[in-house]
Amino acid sequence: MRFDTPATTNPIDQMKVVGQAIPRVDGPLKTTGTAPYAYERHDVAPNQAYGAVVAAGIAKGRIASIDLAAARAASGVIAIVTAEDAKDLGKGDMNTAKLLGGPDIDHYHQAVAVVVAESFEEARAAANLVRVRYETTPGRFDLEAERGAAKTPDEDSPETAVGDFEGAFAAAAVKLDATYTTPDQSHAMMEPHASIAAWDGDQLTIWTSNQMIAWSRGDIAKTFGIDKDKVRLISPFIGGGFGGKLFIRSDAVLAALGARAAGRPVKLALPRPLIANNTTHRPATIQHIRIGATRDGRITAIGHESLSGNLSGGSSENAVQQTRLLYAGADRMTALKIADLDMPEGNAMRAPGETPGLMALEIAIDELAELTGLDPVELRILNDTQVDPEDPERPFSQRRLIECLRLGAERFGWAGRSATPGRRREGRWLIGTGVAAGIRNNMVATSGARVRLDADGIVTVETDMTDIGTGSYTIIAQTAAEMMGVGVDRVLVRLGDSSFPVSAGSGGQWGANTSTAGVYAACVKLREVVAQRLGFNSGDAEFTDGSVRAGNRSVTLAEAAGADGLVAEDSIEFGDLDKDYQQSTFAAHFVEVGVDAATGEVRVRRMLAVCDAGRILNPVTARSQVIGAMTMGVGGALMEELAVDTDRGFFVNHDLAGYEVPVHADIPAQDVVFLAGDDPMSSPMKAKGVGELGLCGVGAAVANAVYNATGVRVRSYPITLDKLLPGLPEMVG
């Protein structure tokens, strides 16, 4: 099915099942501990052995020698594989560095060997006996120090210009010129990267924790130099990813290498310290923002430049992309720079680009409000735009940011905010409120599904779509139930298997909208097959209450399926609507904080997100996505930072003891409001994503609230005590 004209009335519009607050269909499996996560698949392959990674102890250099004698002689050891043993190992298209290093070392904790043993304890003990001697070479580990060597990345549209930014900025009555920094951050998902690999001749099966099955299947095939048809990836449940599992990582490759060497299945999980340095992370940024405005607050010039670092050949963190769309202004400029660093690979993390970009831009907008004497909500409303600011002939398909801001301000009690920082106190606590806008584009991708109808009237959906805790099982079941006229209890959803039709996968906030649209397409075809078998006109057939009706005739779906059942398969393919109309989602985030006037301790007291994201397929799962994102935003604002050892080139706090994330005590009352409505330009579902939108702008809302409480403007995240204490107002009795 091709989607190239706006959606009209269709069966999803009935909203009998879609749009309803249906509990997760996979909830019982997860709450009883019976959901099969990758490392726990003891049943899928007999006689599993265990793998342990030997990780590089330097960030840059070469392996001079590697002594395996003690490890080979250790109890229970079956096999050891190094790069020397895997000479023909390739590199996937989506990996910047090889997942098995040697003799050259590209970054700290790059895998250099895998040890396979009978038990986990034996594998780990033997891995500790591998002796590697290195020859180190100087490396580049400090983003600030490499600013002078930064270059324009080899990416589409890294620099944009409309009008005369420099001239307009110079002529502006009000000018803001400030630099903001965001740190490296870890995905810190609960489930580590984990895989079980088994070979059957030249056929490789990997049970793994991965968000994008088709991408990763292709990269595994390329890495091992085998045909893609000989690779099967299975990932039905994923314990969090946040972008860290978009691509194949060393756990899958090393498990497969170990299994081939051992001649039996091998399971391998990356220990927590390896996740920060061995896998991917969100890169740090240094952002320079300049905004010119009239005295009444209208933006006339807006410029945003950002620098990030990565391994040579890696991509940049596109922290300027939201600035191209969020506010009006005739004269505009954005630019990206990237510095080569010999640090672990930077790559996508939840809302890549927008998260750090809005952490800077939305503080800058707050500062502009202060310079012009306008309320921060009103300044944002004043500079709203209903068209792409870089291409005024291109309207937004739907943009209700003003409604988000006004409704949020009303519900949050924004009118009671003190416009003068540091004025509101409750005992020793300084109280402040902050606001920030959020934007995340609505991206679409081809997505397929197979739908079966059996003799019992059960509808089974098969697609390689994944569920990373987002509710994919539930919204896909709702889609099929709505289309086929049955209850959710009559739908079986099977996900995360490369033998199923290729879907959009989980990432970029595109998963829910496009995967359900793919199921919609397959169900349209199945409805046609059912109607044809019964001699009905498919346009007149009504699917409801487990039956299909046309005129005075009604047949149950079970009868229509017959003993052999019926099956249909299709994909949703998108035309140019996303080119003709800018498709985005919007949010207004409001935060109240208390700051201890003596210690600088920050406590978030309450939070509100108002979201404009098209049709909400399930308000329960959507709300869960947004409050989880809001929680991540608090972490990014106040505590999360991978600390770089700029001498040795690694992240020092590479575990959950040193890398702090919010806990329950850090997160008080959270409220989420979804604007009612749908977007027919997006897909037949008329939906858009919310999973990343919920994070976009949250960090800045916290930062702006801290400023309102204290009068201390922090432009370098995270906002820690040392940055607040010197500027806190004196205590008063």
List the catalytic residues.
692
24, 471 contact by CB (below 8 A): yes
Give the three-class secondary structure for 375. Answer: coil
Element (H, E) at 199: strand 194-200
The number of C-alpha atoms within 13 Å of 181 and in the hemisphere containing its C-beta is: 11
* Whole-angstrom distance, CA of residue 693 vs CA of residue 104: 40
* Whole-angstrom distance, CA of residue 449 vs CA of residue 507: 18
590, 697 contact by CB (below 8 A): no
* Whole-angstrom distance, CA of residue 190 vs CA of residue 208: 15
* Whole-angstrom distance, CA of residue 613 vs CA of residue 399: 9
Residue with tokens 């500790």: 128
* Whole-angstrom distance, CA of residue 713 vs CA of residue 708: 9
Two tokens, residue 231: 């690779």
**Which residues have a Cβ under 8 Å from the Cβ of 292 and sit 6 or more positions away?**
168, 169, 170, 171, 172, 173, 174, 175, 176, 299, 300, 301, 302, 331
Q: Which amino acid is at 210?
A: N
Taking the CA atoms of 521, 522, 526 and 532 in sequence, report the sign of the dihedral they define: positive
* Whole-angstrom distance, CA of residue 448 vs CA of residue 573: 9
305 bridge partner residues:
288, 335
Phi, psi of 441 (to 5 degrees): -70, 150
102, 55 contact by CB (below 8 A): no
Angle at 321 between CA 320 and CA 323, to 5 degrees: 70
Q: Which amino acid is at 57?
A: G
